[in-house]
Chains A and B, each alone.
Chain A
């Protein structure tokens, strides 16, 4: 298969200026896509379990008592915006913009990621107060198997963001560090995709069929 020189691997490409980084990134980026897809299978099965468990509430609190759509709405907007800012951080790096710009977008993404987690944990605590704990019913076990799994991924993404921020500072914009930022951006966009599944299936699906 003949490939266009400007776009040599799937996803975000670094372009001519970072040609050496691009070559090194090609193989690992494809490998990272394979990881993302296997992670998708994991999430998909948690979704399947949730769907089969929607009615298994065992007389415990259900979606209507437990879900707070306003908070979900806020979380959705925060995560979506962070998906934009991580992309802008990536572009700032790709086009060699001043370091301040890169740090700015990294910082905004990190703040948004942490805000998302704070809201989510507050939701879980509010649910627990109403008796919505994982061991209460099959429905709640499935819920707490799936949604906090996504939250855990976001937390890992935040940690990754911090580590990369430090690496950018200590090592500078080396090829290896740049290709890591490419993968972080992919990971972050992927988490936003999973979140769309969560609001559609877990929250709206739960409220419709639960």
Chain B
């Protein structure tokens, strides 16, 4: 087998691993919701962590973001955008939650 088809096989395997892992995490998420109900924060925390795991898995296996030097500029871009986003999201929730509390709107 020549080098190219060997590389092809390896790259295809990455996609299949990413897909298999994501599928497993998705099935676990829905199974947890189905078996334990979706009412309690503990179950929701589990679902949230499974979602986060799937995000990371797909970033690595589908979008090829990792700590390799050549994709590090991109990792910086993703991390910086995430930081800006977290400031805006947490800021929004903080400010509006505080407003709701002071106005007795019973939100959150």
Contact = CB atoms under 8 A, between A and B. Distances in A.
A10 B70 contact: yes
A41 B47 contact: no
Interface residues of A, number: 57
Contacts of A52: 92-93, 96-97, 100, 107-108
Interface string A158-193: 000000000000000000000000000010011011
Which of A38, A49, A189 has most chain B Cβ within 10 Å? A189
A7 B92 contact: no
A127 B93 CA distance: 27
Contact of A37 (B39, B59, B81): B81
A19 interface: no
Given A48-B89, A186-B63, A205-B44, A95 B70 contact: no
A80 B5 CA distance: 26
A91 B8 contact: yes
B81 to A, nearest CB: 4
A73 B30 contact: yes
Nearest to A138: B107
Contacts of B62: 83, 87, 189, 192
A115 interface: no
Contact of B19 (A80, A197, A209): A80
Interface of B: 4-5, 7-8, 11-12, 15-16, 18-19, 22-23, 26, 29-30, 33, 38-41, 43-44, 47-48, 51, 54-55, 58-59, 62-65, 68-75, 77-78, 81, 84-85, 88-89, 92-93, 96-97, 100, 106-108
8 contacts: A11-B64, A30-B74, A44-B85, A77-B26, A95-B5, A200-B47, A208-B38, A208-B39
| A-B interface, 6 closest residue pairs, ranked by CB to CB distance from nearest | A10-B74, A200-B51, A37-B81, A48-B92, A44-B85, A84-B19
